[in-house]
Amino acid sequence: MPLRVRGRTLPDEAAIELWIIDGRISTERVAGADTVFDGGWIMPGLVDAHCHVGLGQHGAITLDEATAQAETERDVGALLLRDCGSPTDTRSLDDHHDLPRIIRAGRHLARPKRYIPGFAVELDDEWQLPAAVAEQALRGDGWVKLVGDWIDRSVGDLAPLWSDDVLKAAIDAAHAHGARVTAHVFGEDALPGLINAGIDCIEHGTGLTDDSIALMLEHRTALVPTLINVENFPGIADSAVRYPTYAAHMRDLYTRTYPRIAAAREAGIPLYAGSDAGSTIEHGRIADEVEALKKIGMSPTDALGAACWDARRWLGRPGLDPGASADLLCYADDPRRGPGVLSEPELIILRGKMFRAKC
């Protein structure tokens, strides 16, 4: 039976009335529709722009576990996920129409001993990167994920994984295959090489300086800061007792995170919400990241947009457009009020099918 929902939408707070037929949105009246929501707020499904479906504490997991991760995201309204690297091949999940849509980045690309064990494809020779990027571009859904920096135990501190020439060749290779590239970066030193090479996005970005912010602006690089995951930095430092320089660096990055990310936003860097769920962070926490974005000075509307309409536009996915898949959320209360409201929609509709989070 066709469905009908009516309320106000965001960010413009305009009245909206939608019909849902054959899984798609219609703005034209459909006879015999069942009104399933009337009053309150209606918006496109939330976006988690950095999470991992198919990644556990030690790397790959079973498809049943990956399915459960995706279900957890759906049940808090995260209906579009940008998977920022997964060692498990989760492409078969696309056949499960009750699961969120996933935009994959293939597998993380790193060097030996230069990322969390079990997570990445580890390249012995850095010049293998362009070919590896091309391979992951073919496996993914338009993104490739690099590890930009990590502790180098021979140095005892964070250090870049790749030289600038390699990055330029690799990012060119991704773009030639129609894929955008992003990178995990905690520290300062890896940023200029990545940004100058034309990378499309930086994940975490805790080591941003005024110079690298200016470079990102010049190159129109986006930022996904994953603020709730940065809360793990003091714990990472505590466990790195053999590497005091690294531990001090991580603590210093942590204390500067909010002012640096705020400076990036003020400078005009496009910024999107990602929870980094999948290893340390539990799935289903995108609302907490939206709340954290308010602490860098984003308005409640802009913080929500970074996890919804703005992130969808950036990822090339529709919102509440006629003909689009009916992936939407309905709230009795204003979802900008906080995580308690945002993560508990009255009604979740995915591909036209209703999932009720609340009774």
Which residue pairs from 177-181 have beta carbons closer than 8 angstroms and sit at least 24 positions apart in sequence? 177/133, 177/134, 177/137, 177/138, 178/137, 178/142, 179/133, 179/136, 179/137, 179/140, 179/142, 179/143, 179/144, 180/142, 180/143, 180/144, 181/133, 181/143, 181/144, 181/145, 181/146
Instruction: Give 67's contacts (C-beta < 8 A, 6+ positions apart).
Output: 93, 96, 99
Span from 75-83, 84-92, 124-132, 237-245 in contact with Zn ion (CB under 5 A) = 84-92
Assign 13 to helix, strand or coil: coil
Nearer to Zn ion, 84 or 315 (CB): 84
Min. distance of Cβ 186 from Zn ion in angstroms? 11
Map the footprint of Zn ion across residues 249-288, applying CB under 5 A.
276
CB nearer to Zn ion: give 9 or 69: 69
Q: How far is the CB of 274 from Zn ion (least distance, A)?
A: 8
- Asked if 73 is part of the footprint of Zn ion (rule: CB under 5 A), the reply reads no
Q: CB nearer to Zn ion: give 93 or 120.
A: 120
The interface region with Zn ion, picked from 79-87, 119-127, 185-193, 291-299 by CB under 5 A, is 79-87
Site string for Zn ion, 142-181 (x = CB under 5 A): ----------------------------------------
Name, in order, each residue with C-beta under 8 angstroms of 275's C-beta and a sequence gap of 6 or more: 48, 50, 51, 226, 228, 229, 281, 283, 285, 286, 288, 289
Least distance to Zn ion from the beta carbon of 226, Å? 7
The footprint of Zn ion on this chain (CB under 5 A) covers a number of residues equal to 2
Q: Does 84 bind Zn ion (CB under 5 A)?
A: yes
The residue at minimum Cβ distance from Zn ion is 276
Q: Are strands 222-224 and 201-204 parallel, antiparallel or unpaired?
A: parallel
Stretch that binds Zn ion, among 81-89, 250-258, 316-324, 336-344 (CB under 5 A): 81-89
Q: CA–CA separation, 185 vs 158, rounded Å?
A: 10
* Cβ 283 to Zn ion shortest distance, Å: 12
Positions in the binding site for Zn ion (CB under 5 A):
84, 276
